[in-house]
Amino acid sequence: MKVGQLSLDEFHALLIGQGLRVKMGPFNLSVQTRLPLLIRQLHQMYSHYSLAEEDEIVEFHVRVIPKHSIRQPLARLIRFEVDGRSPFPPVPVEQALATLEWGVNLVIAMRINHLLLFHSATVERNGHVLLLPAWPGSGKTTLSAMLMHRGYRLFSDEFGLMAPETGDFFPLPRLMPLKNQSIEIIRHYLPEAVLGPEIPGTLKGTVAHIRPPQASIERADEAAQPRWIVFPKWVAGAALRLESLPQSEAFLLLATNAFNYEVLGEAAFDAVTRLVRGCECRKLVYSDFDSALVALDELTDG
């Protein structure tokens, strides 16, 4: 059963009741909230997700609830809670969706260690995974939004989830927060993309979420092996360059950016070594999305 098959009333009843239990990639998530605004937004943005199987454990239990502040009695604030605790301070009610999505990512990053968590956009083409690791100015969310609307299967714009023993990558298609100028860029390039409300004033500026395509969510159980690692960098006015990157540098960048490289110890050292040795490593400098897409298509054609 898909969220989209529920009427708004049924959906509402779950969120204010025992919780909306949805499947997100390898995890199940339970969400509770009474905020009418957030309920309406989620009904649209979560429509492609399946409800969790009846007899399955849900890993993460989160809530978004109103918060009354002594210092700002008139402000309409909300609080994100996981298992009854708030990992960060309250925010204005308008930021509920962004806070929920951010909070769930945080919980995954804090609690999951049976998988190696790279900080990377991850997409699949021709049966193999292309990693686009985050480094400053990478524009990975924008780039992965483009790719997923041009025939690539979205795994995640934020996490590369890898089983350290097998090297398999797992999809975790979640809402993707576009920031500031990239919102307009995506509206222009991808008029077909479904975007959530523009949320101004967050820690990262104005944010609007893009909903992953139905096909990416429906195939979220299909893992794949990695083949390409491309470090993207958006530079205004730069001519397109797709150059090979020394493997040692790829190792360094991947390991230092991973969420739990240190925690996994030797297993992570082995896993990253095997990953980098088995992949083609590139550096992509671009200013124009069309030519970047052409270059990535060529790389992943074979």
Binding site for another protein (CB under 8 A): 16-19, 27-28, 32, 34, 55-59, 61, 63, 65-66, 70-71, 83-84, 89, 111-114, 246-248, 251-252, 255, 261-266, 269, 273
The Cα–Cα gap between 128 and 123 comes to 8
8-state DSSP, 93: G
| Cβ neighbours around 105 below 10 Å, total | 17
For another protein, which is the closer residue by CB, 198 or 249? 249
Write down the least CB distance from residue 113 to another protein, Å.
4
The Cα–Cα gap between 45 and 180 comes to 19
For another protein, which is the closer residue by CB, 109 or 194? 109
Write down the least CB distance from residue 188 to another protein, Å.
40
Write down the least CB distance from residue 32 to another protein, Å.
5
For another protein, which is the closer residue by CB, 152 or 170? 170
For another protein, which is the closer residue by CB, 16 or 295? 16
8-state DSSP, 152: P
Write down the least CB distance from residue 92 to another protein, Å.
17
For another protein, which is the closer residue by CB, 41 or 142? 41
Residues 6+ apart with CB under 8 A from 246: 281
Residues 6+ apart with CB under 8 A from 59: 27, 28, 29, 111
Find how far residue 92's CA is from the centre of its chain.
23
8-state DSSP, 211: P
Write down the least CB distance from residue 200 to another protein, Å.
23
For another protein, which is the closer residue by CB, 71 or 188? 71
Helix (H) or strand (E) holding 299: helix 289-301
Write down the least CB distance from residue 297 to another protein, Å.
29
Residue with tokens 């004033």: 201
Residue with tokens 């993707």: 176
